[in-house]
Amino acid sequence: MDFSFTEEQLMLQDVARRIAQDVIAPSAAHFDQVGEFPLDNIRLLGENGLMGIEVPAEYGGAGMDPVGYVLAMVEVAAADAAHSTIMSVNNSLFCSGILAHGSEQQKQSIVRAIAEGREIGAFALTEPQSGSDATAMRCRAVKQDDGSFVINGKKSWITSGPVARYIVLFAITDPGQGARGITAFIVDTTRAGFHRGKTEPKLGIRASATCEIEFVDYVAQPADVLGTEGKGFGIAMGVLDSGRIGIAAQAVGIARAAYEQTRQYVKERKAFGAAIGTFQMTQAKIADMKCRLDAALLLTLRAAWVKAQGRPFTAEAAIAKLTASESAMWITHQAVQIHGGMGYSREMPLERYFRDAKITEIYEGTSEIQRLVIARSETGLR
């Protein structure tokens, strides 16, 4: 067993850390408060290869492996979760599915624009009435005689929806077939028939824009189909497996930021004539925070490593996401508690970490869905 990283992985981590600390961290509180999409910072991440980390260089990406992706995500998320959300959607939800199933043309034109950070991508699976139960979608793509599709329907909770140029969309092409009647499309949001709806006001990751979208007689050409007609649900699930490693890494980054600030604080803050870090109740919290942080990081790296070996990693990704997101929630909770009033104040980033951590237990499959995936894998029962 080898716990060391390659030179390339460490270089990527270093690039991500420098941008995260020099550019993102100083502006994170501002973007959170005004809820503005940090477009310039996202372009900078793209120029440095961080919007298409696993995309091969021939399609404009950094050509790195999933372990490198985790290391970079942790650094960006430790500076600001909202930036890492945008990064994760571009990297995992958008690029990974097209890389695995897309045509050469889709990779050369569309993936390249996203990986280089010139355009933003999004992923549209969820609908107002279908979240965890993804096959309950209603968005409909009706095939025409000339092979094109006319798409009608609504999608909700679309991360980066307000700014995305391209969206990977899932719609029903064969009603009554359940998961086997769903097809994936790549949608160009500048075309007729695409509309943006209300923007969601959110508890956390406020700088990452989220909205509803609607299709009214949007025409998709046969070249816009991603993969094979009727195989869209498997594409969505495979993409989410990769995405869950990204969200696990995001959770680790948020948790690490909260932990490191708390570790410093308990050495400086005095009460009853001593640093609060000398009190056993504080020591227990610090020890438990560190154990959960390391467990989350190691499980996330394991999932990335299994993926890098080309082996199935569905269960490993679910274990990593479940552990890391619940650890992030617990660690940020303890961090706020240990900081007392200052933890609750907007003058410090602890309350932002706490708000941001919550989404990692919800998106890209709730904790309940991760438990379902893990239990099915363990028992073989459904």
Catalytic sites, residue numbers: 364
Binding residues among 304-343 for ligand CAA as defined by CB under 6 A: 314
E-state strands within 104-181? 121-124, 140-143, 149-159, 166-172
The interface region with ligand CAA, picked from 49-57, 143-151, 232-240, 322-330 by CB under 6 A, is: 232-240
Binding residues among 86-105 for ligand CAA as defined by CB under 6 A: 89, 93
Tell me the closest approach of the beta carbon of residue 133 to ligand CAA, in angstroms. Answer: 6
DSSP of 66-82? HHHHHHHHHHHHHH-HH
Tell me the closest approach of the beta carbon of residue 151 to ligand CAA, in angstroms. Answer: 18
* Tokens 């958008």 found at: 94
Give the contact letters, 108-147, x = binds to ligand CAA (CB under 6 A), - = no. Answer: ---------------x-xx-----x-xx------------
Q: How far, in Å, CA of 95 to CA of 160, rounded?
A: 14
Kindly state whether residue 300 participates in binding ligand CAA, applying the rule CB under 6 A. Answer: no
Q: How far, in Å, CA of 156 to CA of 215, rounded?
A: 12
Taking a C-beta distance cutoff of 8 angstroms, is the pair 51, 92 a contact?
no
Kindly state whether residue 371 participates in binding ligand CAA, applying the rule CB under 6 A. Answer: no
Handedness of CA 176, 178, 181, 187 (dihedral sign): positive
**Token duo for residue 3:** 């716990």
Kindly state whether residue 375 participates in binding ligand CAA, applying the rule CB under 6 A. Answer: no
Kindly state whether residue 171 participates in binding ligand CAA, applying the rule CB under 6 A. Answer: no
DSSP designation for 27? H
Across the strands, what pairs with 223?
none
The interface region with ligand CAA, picked from 8-16, 33-41, 110-118, 237-245 by CB under 6 A, is: 237-245
Give the contact letters, 254-293, x = binds to ligand CAA (CB under 6 A), - = no. Answer: ----------------------------------------
Q: How far, in Å, CA of 158 to CA of 369, rounded?
A: 19
Binding site for ligand CAA (CB under 6 A): 89, 93, 123, 125-126, 132, 134-135, 157, 159, 179-180, 233-234, 237-238, 240-241, 314, 363-365, 369, 372-373
